[in-house]
Amino acid sequence: MPNDLLGTDETPVIIPTGDEKTLALLSHVLTFVFPFLAPLIIYLVKKDESSFVAYHAKESLNFQITLFILGCIFFVLVFVIIGIFLLWIEGIAATVLIIVATIRAAEGKLYRYPFCIRLIK
């Protein structure tokens, strides 16, 4: 489990089914359209049925919360000009990391976003 800028992944103890992989994948990719709502709904509906889906939905939701907090800070920094640059970097980094998380979920691996505040345990 190497720790790098694209996050870490590991193989779960119980191999997830195809449906579990699909829901885990959706908890990441749907954040492009519904940033908080998609992983929250998936988590609330499936948390008791699948630990794999719950893990990915929590991870995705925590990442979206982290992005929101950073976005608010960077928006304030727009008035100092550097915020514009930081917002662009945040958007590009978020897009890349969400794509990586989606791929890892499709592979059936447990993915952890780097630099993520984990408020929901």
Per residue in 15-74, pLDDT tens?
888 899 999 999 999 999 999 899 999 999 999 999 999 999 999 999 999 999 999 999
pLDDT confidence bin for 92, thresholds 50/70/90: very high
Pairwise CA distance, residues 79 & 61, whole Å: 28
Residue 92's contacts (CB-CB under 8 Å, 6 or more residues apart) are none
- H or E element, residue 104: helix 82-106
